[in-house]
Amino acid sequence: MTWLRTPRVFLAPGLILILVAIGGRYTLDRAGYTDLAWVDLRVVGLLIALAVLVVDIARRPRRETAERREGWLVATMLFFLFQIASGLWAPAASRVGPQTLDLVLMGALVVAFYLYALGDPDAVVRTAFLLFYVAAIVFALAALFINGPGEQGRYSAFGGGPNVFVRIEVLGIISAVALALFIRRLWPLLATPLFGLAAVLSGSRAGLLAGAAVGAFALFKIRRKLHPGAVAGALAFVTVAVIAIWAFAPPAFTNLFQERFVEQTVQDRYLSDRTDIWAAAWQLAVDHPLAGAGLDGFYGLVGVNQFVEYPHNYVLGVAAEGGLIGIGLLSAAVLLWATTVRGGGHRPQLTGLAVAAAVFVGLSSLFSGDYYDSRLAWIFMAMAAAAATVPARVLEEVPA
Q: Give mean pLDDT in consecutive 10-residue pieces for the chain, a chain of 400 residues.
A: 54 90 76 67 91 89 66 97 97 94 96 94 94 96 85 80 91 94 89 88 85 85 65 68 66 60 49 81 95 94 86 95 97 96 90 96 92 95 95 51
pLDDT of residue 233: 65
List phi, psi (to 5°) of 3: -115, 135
CB 317 within 8 Å of CB 311 = yes
pLDDT of residue 195: 92
Closest CA to 380 of 346, 334, 328, 326: 334
CB 169 within 8 Å of CB 198 = yes
Give, in order, the Cα–Cα distances in Å from 102 to each of 83, 99, 109, 173, 363.
11, 5, 10, 27, 20
**Spatial separation of the C-alpha atoms in residues 121 and 350, rounded to whole Å:** 9
Side-chain-side CA neighbours of 42 within 13 Å: the count stands at 21
**Spatial separation of the C-alpha atoms in residues 98 and 387, rounded to whole Å:** 33
CB 263 within 8 Å of CB 255 = no
Number of Cβ within a 10 Å radius of residue 81: 14
Q: What is residue 365's DSSP assignment? A: T
The string of pLDDT tens digits covering residues 162-175 is 888 999 999 999 99
CB 125 within 8 Å of CB 383 = yes
Give, in order, the Cα–Cα distances in Å from 86 to each of 93, 168, 212, 303.
14, 31, 36, 18
- Strand runs (DSSP E) across 124-221, as ranges? none
Q: CA gyration radius for the chain? A: 22
CB 206 within 8 Å of CB 367 = yes
Number of Cβ within a 10 Å radius of residue 147: 16
Element containing residue 209 per DSSP (H, E)? helix 205-221
Give, in order, the Cα–Cα distances in Å from 2 to each of 8, 156, 395, 398.
19, 54, 10, 6
pLDDT of residue 242: 67
**Coil, strand, or helix at residue 396?**
strand
User: Hey, which residues does 396 pair with through a beta bridge?
Assistant: 4
Q: Which residues contact 323 (CB under 8 A, 6 or more apart)?
A: 285, 288, 289, 290, 291, 292
pLDDT of residue 177: 93
**Coil, strand, or helix at residue 182?**
helix
**Spatial separation of the C-alpha atoms in residues 323 and 377, rounded to whole Å:** 22
Element containing residue 307 per DSSP (H, E)? none
**Spatial separation of the C-alpha atoms in residues 198 and 139, rounded to whole Å:** 9
Closest CA to 333 of 345, 343, 344, 341: 341
Q: Which residues contact 27 (CB under 8 A, 6 or more apart)?
A: 36, 37, 38, 39, 40, 41
Give, in order, the Cα–Cα distances in Å from 234 to each of 209, 230, 238, 239.
20, 6, 6, 9
Angle, helices 375-389 vs 121-142, to 10°: value is 150
Query: The pTM is what?
Result: 0.88
Element containing residue 395 per DSSP (H, E)? strand 395-398
Angle, helices 96-119 vs 121-142, to 10°: value is 130
Amino acid at 14: G
Amino acid at 386: A
* Letter string b/e over residues 11-32, b meaning 16 or more CB atoms within 10 A of that residue's CB: eebbebbbbbbbebbbbbeeee
Give, in order, the Cα–Cα distances in Å from 188 to each of 139, 170, 342.
17, 14, 28
